[in-house]
Amino acid sequence: MSQKQNGAEMAWNDNNNQTPPELDEVIKDFKNKFNTTFGGGSSNNTGVSKAAKGSFKYVLMLAVLVWLLTGIYIVDPAERGVVLRFGAFQTSTTQGPHWHIPYPIESVYKVNVEQVRSAEIGFRNSQNSYSGGVSSESLMLTKDENMVDVNLAVQYKIADAQSYLFNVYNPEMTLSHVIQSVIRQVVGDNTMDHVLTTGRDQVAQEVKTASQSLLNDYGVGLLITAVTMQDAQPPIQVKAAFDDVVKAREDEQRYINEAKAYANDIVPKARGASQRLLAEAEAYKSQIVSKSEGEAYRFTQILTEYLKAPGVTKERLYRETLEEVLSSTNKVIVDSSSNSLMYLPIDQLINSSKSSRSSTSVNTFQQTPSGQSDDESVLRSRENR
Distance CA 109, CA 92 (A): 10
Q: Highest mean pLDDT: which of 32-41, 294-303, 374-383?
A: 294-303
Across 126-152, average pLDDT: 77
Tally of structural domains, the chain: 5
Element (H, E) at 109: strand 106-112
Same domain membership, residue 211 and residue 150? yes
- Domain-located, residue 239: no
Same domain membership, residue 132 and residue 221? yes
Same domain membership, residue 61 and residue 31? yes
**What local confidence, expressed as pLDDT, does residue 374 receive?**
46
Same domain membership, residue 59 and residue 8? yes
Phi and psi angles of residue 253, each rounded to the nearest 5 degrees, phi first: -65, -35
Q: What are the pLDDT digits (tens) for 81-138?
A: 888 888 788 888 888 888 888 888 888 888 888 888 998 888 887 665 555 567 788 8
Question: Which of 191, 210, 234 is where one domain is finished?
Answer: 234
Higher-scoring residue by pLDDT: 7, 181: 181
Average pLDDT over the chain reads: 76
Q: Which long-range contacts (CB under 8 A, 24 or more apart) does 338-341 make?
A: 340/366, 340/367, 340/368, 341/366, 341/367
**What local confidence, expressed as pLDDT, does residue 331 receive?**
65
Same domain membership, residue 259 and residue 287? yes
Q: Exposed, middle or buried by CB within 10 Å (0-12, 13-18, 19+), for 158?
A: buried
In 10 A of CB 79, how many CB atoms? 20
For the chain, what percent of residues have pLDDT higher than 90?
Answer: 23
The domain of 84 spans 72-112
Distance CA 89, CA 112 (A): 18
- Domain-located, residue 85: yes
Same domain membership, residue 214 and residue 323? no
Q: What are the pLDDT digits (tens) for 179-206?
A: 999 999 999 998 888 888 788 889 999 9
The CA dihedral of 27, 33, 39, 41, to the nearest 10 degrees, is 70
Nearest Cα neighbor of 345 from 337, 353, 336, 355 is 353
What are the residue ranges of helices labelled H in 23-81?
Answer: 23-37, 46-69
